[in-house]
Structure 1
């Protein structure tokens, strides 16, 4: 790590670039130096902030070429997902803030409309760029505002059905849409499926490339009336040598594959594409993730997203922890269950390492299925397996499971199929901001009849919940857990099967009942200590289940306490809403009980640390104490005095 943040790399030519207009004013022979300096600047910046590294390094030359050729921001560039847009941010007037990436009040780690006119469309999830780009291109036609619209999408993102829905639509239109397929053979983990084979076939076919160039040269020498037959002949040749012209069958004019790191070729081809005329075009650029930085090139998956690191060695720095991560506990617990039950299989949507299933794959390579960035398919695929007696665990981040909500309802819940949903990254995720926040699964799954919902209070509870889910065959069941490390509790050797719909009392008290659902339990217990120091001895409950609620326990607490407070790492419509509905429906709010649900506020919260986000939401120990004292009738002066004591 550098001792002084002022020790910046030497970038004399990049220092002259304040906007893409400055880039376009440079002679072409200077652009390779710009690319080299841009790569150096990005590596240095991310070493300070952490963030997404490999993807951005792979598109440095492409970024330079796009801004050199197209009249941005009038021409629109849409970066699919957006995690590869750091070089784009540096070139578009945000270099002075690039070392605030993903920090509180700093630059977003993704593209964001409110951040810059050069970000025409925000992105955080994959495979949206072609749809958005087509919408922009068609809008430009309606408004009679000629412009180029360029969607840059990775080969991993092309595994999602939405990309093909958009291409199918675009292929039947004459809008000026240019799709850049960034083929780096790696989304986060290596891409899977038939498309990967198809692209590899294209890249590895020298006969195809030579044949196409010969066909192009021949067409120019033929009389005009033979141009169309020659075009069809060229298409047949491509089909013969590549095994299919997938993109052209969808209505796109296909260009490539080309070297995505050769600036001269990129610029020449993009200039031709720019001047091509109307109709959708796909440019297939082959790049290398992590290009130009050896540690990232040699281990692209580990350098997809990084913490702060040493530029010289590539070693990433992470504060040591005495507790395992929730993700690793899920993985080890699932491995235990799979060792005892051959019906257990694991399913991931292009996130084997992020969900911990890479460890499962090492031991059970034939029992894990990476379906690519295709959450909808993952859920229905799991439903199909469950219908035949398998016990599938579908491990998907909360924010990505949103994309498969229809399948959860129609293909799983209505049929009562026992799919196990392991929901990682529940609640606030910190630096990845609102696009990745797992704030909504409590509410959106809570509206689905017949599903069991669990949330782990700590890493030991997570182990129990994996065992519970493995044994549950009555219908769909979910378990949610946050990003980061556990609480450091003692771990059981094996998970125990919990009684469905039953919580646990951790402290028996009076006056105030604190109901915790999920991993806020540590803060709830700390708040209970503060309240106890004020002479208030609260009851503390780990609810464990949102559906079904432990109605017996909640009713008893409601009748024996003056104040009830619920806490959860989720938004409106979740645990607190279910508790409130139960209390109101049973007349338990008609007497002395004052119920206060604490939840994630009904607003999108920008990137910051997880701790800061929860503090602002009032879901830390101080916020919980304040909520309890307010419910008891403390005014501001009394509140201030009470808090000063603890």
Structure 2
């Protein structure tokens, strides 16, 4: 497709050579360019479509990259990437060794701050503004673009509180479209709705924080945006601009069904219709095994409460929210609050299931330690997206959880090998535990069609011998268990496979048997090797003075970039053939 103006824009300097009247055509071309690429290559669609005019106006008025522009999260930064020298590479977006789906400092000088998780932009922009003042760069602008879901996070309010008490030259732009991935929630969302409709009878909350407030402004009116940005450039100190946009703007289906079109997969670029789904019967997604099983349990156990920080669809807590809205809560982008809320619920005898992505649980580490584990509160953490998650890349891989959880006292850690195990550990947890438990499971589908079997109780801390051999023992945890069995089968009777669902507590009786029988041991996990499951086995081996060879297989000591999940596992030697070669190297 031909893009007469967009094809001439290799960086924002080219954009600024155009007349303001040309920007409307550039907006139309940029929007269509994004639609055409994402329709076939996939990615985050709705957020970037919603900020096309805002992106153009920012780069047109402000002197980027000298002026610092920070996009919160980064879902909405596709237009920014295309305008800053990456147009011809954009079809590699989110593909292995291609462009990142998020702003990335290594990728471009225009990507001022690397993002991927929410609510960091104001803190980062304020830090840059303070540094500019110290260096005597008084005319440099510092702009944070943050969504209405992200601005409700505690970290964003911490930054607003600090910025409002400073004279830093910072502009916070609230991109208000009333939705993150799922619809925004909470009192602040209601306040912003009232601001938009002109019905609020309260003082302006941002002016109360010492920001000069402007807006609301139509975020799709380029002329209005240019006018107000040129005004704001001349005003020093902390400023707040409230911009109203429509997520998915310019594609009817994306505007109508904003949750699905946040990241819709492949679709028809002309009609907007989603590509036909595979109608063959498939194994369920792990998140759905969790969500549907929780509903089944909640029907019989009135003590069960569900909690998620802004991921009801992604975690499948939506099923419980639909059937038991009084017992299931989306608390917004507030991971710390979610964990301590669960602790409070557990304090008075109910059973909180806190479902949270592995990479997001890192944000509530203090609460996990002090508010839950220290007090031995039996919160049930259902940790989704464990292991490598594919195209979202380094910011989203759930590869650190086993390491950062294993060192916490009073915490049970379980990694189910399949859907049935996940179902049964959920059942076991709601029968009543004396300690908190972390249940971690991967993104995507399992392997079983018949998974909805009668419940059975899982004995805490017991490992299983799944295959008996006489030369080498593979000790594996989580969903890599089937991979270990596949590898072992090709060596007939030489390889044993032991499944350690419980990374903590370890089955020490089983370990003693293994140490006494095998001269070589291989540990296998889908997390980092440093401090993970394999490390725990090595620690135990040292206690028992084990003299054999132990080889830890897992994620190396590096951040893993984006790409298809199996591509990434192959790149770090965790594909089936690489595992076979490791075993061969240990055999006489």
For the aligned pair, the TM-score class normalised by the smaller chain equals: over 0.9
Instruction: Name the CA distance, whole Å, in 1 between partners of 2:160 and 2:334.
Output: 16
Matched, 1:584 2:542: yes
Alignment match, 1:520: 480
> Unpaired segments of 5 or more residues in structure 1?
1-7, 207-240, 634-646
**Is the CA contact 1:469–1:478 (under 8 Å) kept in the aligned structure 2?**
no
Say whether residues 1:624 and 2:579 are aligned partners. Answer: yes
Equivalent in the alignment of 2:433: 473
Give SS of 1:44's match.
Answer: helix
Map of 2:314 onto structure 1: 354
Q: Is the CA contact 1:487–1:522 (under 8 Å) kept in the aligned structure 2?
A: no
Structure 2, gaps ≥5 residues long? none
Q: Distance in 2 between matches of 1:559 and 1:526?
A: 25
Q: Report if the CA contact (8 A) 1:181-1:282 is conserved.
A: yes
Q: 1:193 is matched with which residue?
A: 186
Q: Which residue of 1 aligns with 2:375?
A: 415
* Contact preservation (8 Å) 1:321, 1:485: no
Counterpart contact for 1:570–1:600, Cα < 8 Å: yes
CA distance in 1, matches of 2:148, 2:401: 28
- The answer as to whether partners of 1:527 and 1:625 remain within 8 angstroms in 2 is yes
The answer (yes or no) to whether the contact 1:460–1:489 under 8 Å persists in 2 is no
Equivalent in 384, 388, 394 of residue 428 of structure 1: 388
Q: 2: CA distance between counterparts of 1:297 and 1:313?
A: 11
Q: In the aligned structure 2, how far is the partner of 1:279 from the partner of 1:350?
A: 32
Report the TM-score when normalising by structure 2.
0.97
- Partners of 2:394 and 2:516 in 1: how far apart? 39
Q: Which has the larger radius of gyration?
A: 1
Bigger shift: residues 373-382 or 356-365: 356-365
Output aligned runs, 1:179-218, within 5 Å: 179-205=172-198
Q: Counterpart of 1:37?
A: 29
CA deviations over 1:46-78 (Å, ceiling 9, x no partner):
112111111111101100110111011111110
Report the Cα distance in structure 2 between the residues aligned to 1:144 and 1:375, rounded to whole angstroms: 37
Distance 1:506 1:490 in 2: 20
CA displacement at 1:318 relative to structure 2:
5.4
1:542 aligns to 2:534 (yes or no): no
Note if contact 1:563-1:628 (Cα within 8 Å) is conserved in structure 2: no
- In structure 2, the residue matched to 1:215 is none
Once the two structures are TM-superposed, the CA of residue 151 in structure 1 deviates from its matched residue by: 0.3
- Give 1:219-298 correspondences, 5 Å limit: 242-276=201-235, 278-298=236-256
User: How much has 1:574 moved relative to structure 2?
Assistant: 1.1
The alignment's C-alpha RMSD in Å is 1.3
8 Å Cα contact 1:306-1:316 kept in structure 2 = no
How far, CA to CA, are the matches of 1:507 and 1:193 in structure 2?
51
Distance 1:318 1:586 in 2: 53
Q: Please list every run of at least 4 consecutive aligned residues from structure 1 whose deviation after the TM superposition is greater than 3 angstroms.
A: 316-321
- 1:21 and 2:13 matched: yes
Q: Is 1:327 the equivalent of 2:287? A: yes
Q: Deviations over 1:311-342 (max 9, x none)?
A: 22421455566211111111111111111101
Q: In structure 2, how many angstroms separate the alpha carbons of the residues matched to 1:324 and 1:504?
A: 24
Kindly report which structure 2 residues correspond to 1:159-174, keeping only aligned pairs within 5 A, or say none. Answer: 159-174=152-167
Q: Over residues 221-263 of structure 1, what are the superposed CA-to-partner deviations in whole Å (9 max), with x where a residue is unaligned?
A: xxxxxxxxxxxxxxxxxxxx54122111112111011111111
Mapped pair 1:336 → 2:296: yes
- Judge which range, 446-455 or 359-368, deviates more: 359-368
The yes-or-no answer on 1:90 pairing with 2:45 is no
Counterpart CA distance in 2 for 1:472 and 1:539 is 33
Over 3 Å counting, the alpha-carbon distance change for 1:397 and 1:36 in structure 2 is same
Q: How many residues align?
A: 584
The one-character-per-residue Cα deviations of 1:115-163 (angstroms, maximum 9, x if unpaired) are: 0010010001000000000001111111122310100000000121000
Rounded to whole Å, the distance in 2 between the matches of 1:70 and 1:494 is 62
* Offset from partner CA, 1:380-439 (integer Å, 9 cap, x none): 000000001110000000000000000000000000001000000000011000000101
CA contact (8 A) 2:123 2:156 kept: yes
Report what 1:367 is aligned to.
Answer: 327
Q: Distance in 1 between matches of 2:272 and 2:136?
A: 53
- For the residues of structure 2 that align with 1:260 and 1:54, how far apart are their CA atoms? 15
In structure 2, distance between residues paired with 1:158 and 1:458 = 37
Secondary structure in structure 2 of the residue aligned to 1:437: coil
Partner of 1:531: 491
Distance in 2 (alpha carbons) for counterparts of 1:492 and 1:107: 40
* Structure 1 segment 470-619 matched on structure 2, within 5 A: 470-488=430-448, 490-532=450-492, 536-571=493-528, 572-587=530-545, 589-590=546-547, 593-619=548-574
Match of 1:112 in 2: 104
TM-score (norm 1): 0.89
SS in 2 for 1:354: helix
